[in-house]
Amino acid sequence: MELYNYIKSLHLIFVITWFAGLFYIPRLFIYHIEANAKPSPEKEILTKQLKLMTKRLWFIITWPSAILCVFFALWLLHLQTALVYQPWMQVKLGFVVLLIAYHFKCHQIFSELQRDEVKYSSNFMRIWNEGATLILFAVVFLVILKSAVNWIYGVLGIILLGILLMLGIRLYKRIRDKNPEA
């Protein structure tokens, strides 16, 4: 049991650092996209620095954390195979698959921006930035409550949270449009 708790602790540490990377990388994407619209030489100076910052965050923190998080999760499931058969864990694993898909999409966006290919608006990235937040809420509630039976309440709560986040983004856009320095 002591080994299990050490593995669980390492898993949680890497969950936290992985999410830290996933929370910050879209912010850097936003800054990069907005820097791309600036005049020279500001555009080149900012994009060069943002590429470096993004590359370091992505390859030094986010990717290693994702790999180690999944490694320790698989080890935990190996030590407690009965967990896989619990409905709440199956729903949680579904959200983990969604998080991995989100991670890979972030990697695609990262690669495009590294090649100076801007395919998304900064407003899209502000909305995209909330994806990891919604997944985090779902997973934390599933793990703490260990209930997939009340998943309807959870889904409604996540939808409500999503609506509140979207309203917050729209409010911030209005404030920013009135005061570009905000």
Tally of CB atoms within 10 A around 101? 12
Mean pLDDT of 129-142: 88
Give domain limits for the chain.
Answer: 2-178
Task: Return the biggest CA–CA distance within the chain.
Answer: 60
Task: For tokens 């005049």, name the residue.
Answer: 39
Res. 57: pLDDT tops 90: yes
Determine the Cα–Cα distance for residues 120 and 8; give it in Å rounded to an integer.
Answer: 37
Binding residues for heme: 11, 92
pLDDT above 70 covers a percentage of the chain that reads 95
pLDDT confidence of residue 148? 61
The binding site comprises 11, 92
pLDDT per residue as tens digits for the range 61-114 = 999 999 999 999 999 999 999 999 998 899 899 999 999 999 999 999 999 999
Buried b / exposed e over 133-154, threshold 16 CB at 10 Å, is bbbbbbbebbeeeeebeebeeb
Mean pLDDT across 34-52: 96
Structure tokens that stand for 163 in this block: 């609506």
